[in-house]
Structures are given as C-alpha cells and as structure tokens.
Copies of this chain bind each other. A is one copy, B any other.
Amino acid sequence: MPIKKRITIKQVASEASVSTQTVSRVINNRPDVAPETRQRVEEVVERLGYHPSALARSLIQQHSYTLGVVTAGLKYIGPSRTLNGIAQQTEAMGYSLLLKELPRFDANDFEPLLQSLLARQVDGVIWAVPQIGANRYWLKEHVPHLPIPIMFLTMEPQPGISIVSIDNYQGGRLATKHLLEQGYRRIGHISGPLDWWEARERKRAWENTLLEAGLPVEECQSVEGNWSSSSSDRAFRQLLDQFPGLDAVFVGNDQMALSVYAIASARGIRIPQDLGVVGFDGIPESAYYWPALTTIDQNQHELGCNAISELVYMIETSEHGKKEVEPRVIILQPELIIRESSPRRPI
C-alpha cells in the first residue's frame, strides 16, 4: 500500500530491532537469516509499507536495471508498434525503461541524449530511430567508447555494431515477385522518402526484381512519397501521368496505398481489375481497405522484443564474463499477405 512518507531501511531496522544489514538480507532473500528474525522483519516491512529505494541500490551496485530507449515519430504507428514490443519485453525481463523521443526523425544531436541516459546509469541503450540521411555518422567514432552496450534498430549492417532489422530488400522482392507471378508487367512504385534506408531498400528490390525478370525499369516508373497518405495522393497522380499503361503498383507503405485507392476511385480506375496494388507494413486496417490490400507484413512488435532480449543478453554476459560480447546482427523476415488487390491477371 502506498504511503505518504517514504520509509527507509533504518526505520525498519530499528523497529524490528536488527541492523540494517539484516533487513537488507531479508528483502533480498539472502539465505543467512534465522527464520524467526526473517519473519519479524517481514512483518515490520509489511506494517510500515516499506519499499526499498531502487535509486540507492543502483548507486551502490552500479547497475540500475534500467534500459534507455531512443525513438522518434511516436505519432506514427510503426515506431509505436516497435516501442510496444520494447516495453513489453523490457518488463518481462525485469528491467525498467527510460524513454527519449527525438523531436525529428533526422535529428542528429545524439550526444546530449546519450549523456542524459548515461547520467542515469542505464545498463544499455536501444537506438530505435530509423536510419535517415547521415543520422548514423557518429557510430564509428563514438560507439566503441561507450561504457555500455547499445543496440541499433532498422539500419544497414555495419561491422562492429549490434543491429536488429527487418529485411526490407526481401520484402520489396516478395511484393514485386508476387505481382510478376500474378501476370502484371507494367509495375510502378511509389517509394518512401529516399533518404530513408528502408525506402531505398524497398525500391532497390523492386528495381532489381523487375530487371531480373527481363523487364525495363525507367525513371518515370517510380515516384517518391514521404510515407503519408497525402504525399502519395500527389505521387500517384504523377505516376499515372508519367507512366502510361501502368497495370500494378507497389506502394512503399499501407498508408500511401490508401490514397492510391482514393485517387483510383475518383478517376474510375478499378482496383484490382484495372490496377493491381501491393502495400507494405501490414497495418491491421489494410485488411479492411476495399478491396482488401495485399501487403508485406513486417512484425515491428517482434523487432522490439528481439532487440531487448539481445540487449539484455549483452548486458548480462558482459557483466558476468567480463569480456565484451561480439556485436550481433539479427535480420527478421517480412511476410507476403495475399489479399484481394492483386489477383491473377486475365490473359
């Protein structure tokens, strides 16, 4: 039961007529306490509503059981789903979470952020900000000097860095191959913003898959969006104008696919009869687009979970074994979900 004033270990000790050390042993479940002493102490702890200060404990043990997470764009569903996994797994592993959100995706003043986490003695850090532009420039120089493990999400593998990522290239490949297999031939692409690594990977996969199938890929065949529905509103109209004969489009995410649907409806282009569509992300809503959207499901929740498991593993082995843990790279595979927006094309 929460109480108005904070009780200290001293008060418990004096109330139970033992030393603080004994109280400490009881609350930490150490063996060397006489059963009746233990019981007496426990009774006092209960009665006073005593709860040990994690702060004091962290200070002396040099171990806070707290993880720092740096994120960006929580107002979007992707980062939130990842954070959801992170929070859940952190809790499950008995740690707490200190949250920092970057004001912008491409903010790159990593230093004060990292310091504020280090000042609070976090045991490890998850850098859950996607790789954009040059926002990873500091890795090479600074990561090796950090006193604690740091785990990066969603970025290009790099020697010496621990990373958990989703295979965006493979996702783009699955999407494009699916469209090819269904008989589409003039396949356009609405990409995410190309300063994002993920957007580039998806586009690169689309391009290579077409080329490997012996199809030409022209400049006018793809347009850049910025992940938002409103951006693809413009992008899709441009694509229609500049690439005649379009029979399918691979859209960089499900939000952008939504306005592809809207523009198509407004222009009398029927999906899927006149135009096949494949999205990316697998947001729950995409199953209720009409027609239901074929998409690439990326499990961002699991991404977060994996990152934490791995990070905690790094923390705990580097403590025990005293030797540094080898940086590890984990790549999760996305999945193709076939729905109604990409049926086999009649010959």
By a CB distance below 8 angstroms, the chain B residues around A290 are 261-262, 265-266
Check A258 against B288 for contact (C-beta < 8 Å): yes
Check A285 against B285 for contact (C-beta < 8 Å): yes
Supposing A119-B52, A145-B1 touch, asked if A75 and B285 sit within 8 A by C-beta, the answer is no
Total A residues in contact with B, Cβ cutoff 8 Å: 67
Say yes or no for A233: interface residue by CB 8 A criterion: yes
* A74-133 CB contacts (< 8 Å) to partner B: 74-77, 79-81, 83-84, 87-88, 91, 96-101, 103, 111, 114-116, 118-121
- Residue from A1, A3, A76, A99 whose CB has the most chain B CB atoms within 10 Å: A99
- Residue from A87, A228, A288 whose CB has the most chain B CB atoms within 10 Å: A288
Within 8 Å by CB of A229, from B56, B265, B288, lies B288
Supposing A3-B145, A53-B121, A80-B80 touch, asked if A87 and B75 sit within 8 A by C-beta, the answer is no
Supposing A74-B80, A229-B285, A288-B258 touch, asked if A4 and B147 sit within 8 A by C-beta, the answer is yes
Check B59 against A88 for contact (C-beta < 8 Å): no
Check A101 against B119 for contact (C-beta < 8 Å): no
Say yes or no for A64: interface residue by CB 8 A criterion: yes
Check A262 against B285 for contact (C-beta < 8 Å): no
Closest chain B CB from A207 CB (angstroms): 27
Give A128-152 as 1s and 0s: 1 = Cβ < 8 Å from B's Cβ atoms. Answer: 0000000000000010011100000
By a CB distance below 8 angstroms, the chain B residues around A115 are 2, 51
Say yes or no for A55: interface residue by CB 8 A criterion: yes
Task: Give Cα A114 to B1, complex, Å.
Answer: 10
Residue of B nearest to A96 (CB): B98
Task: Give Cα A321 to B66, complex, Å.
Answer: 32
Closest chain B CB from A212 CB (angstroms): 33
Closest chain B CB from A231 CB (angstroms): 10
Closest chain B CB from A109 CB (angstroms): 12
By a CB distance below 8 angstroms, the chain B residues around A287 are 229-230
Say yes or no for A301: interface residue by CB 8 A criterion: yes
Check A2 against B114 for contact (C-beta < 8 Å): yes
Say yes or no for A54: interface residue by CB 8 A criterion: yes
Check A147 against B91 for contact (C-beta < 8 Å): no
Check A6 against B285 for contact (C-beta < 8 Å): no
Say yes or no for A196: interface residue by CB 8 A criterion: no
Task: Give Cα A284 to B98, complex, Å.
Answer: 29
Check B64 against A74 for contact (C-beta < 8 Å): no
Residue of B nearest to A150 (CB): B2
* A43-78 CB contacts (< 8 Å) to partner B: 51-56, 58-59, 64, 66, 69, 74-77
Closest chain B CB from A242 CB (angstroms): 21
Task: Give Cα A228 to B292, complex, Å.
Answer: 15
B-binding residues in A (CB < 8 A): 1-6, 51-56, 58-59, 64, 66, 69, 74-77, 79-81, 83-84, 87-88, 91, 96-101, 103, 111, 114-116, 118-121, 142, 145-147, 228-230, 233, 255, 258-259, 261-262, 265-266, 284-285, 287-290, 292, 301
Q: A4-B147, A230-B288 are known contacts; what are 13 more A-B pairs with Cβ within 8 Å?
A: A2-B115, A3-B145, A6-B118, A54-B121, A77-B77, A87-B101, A98-B98, A99-B99, A228-B284, A255-B285, A258-B288, A262-B289, A285-B285
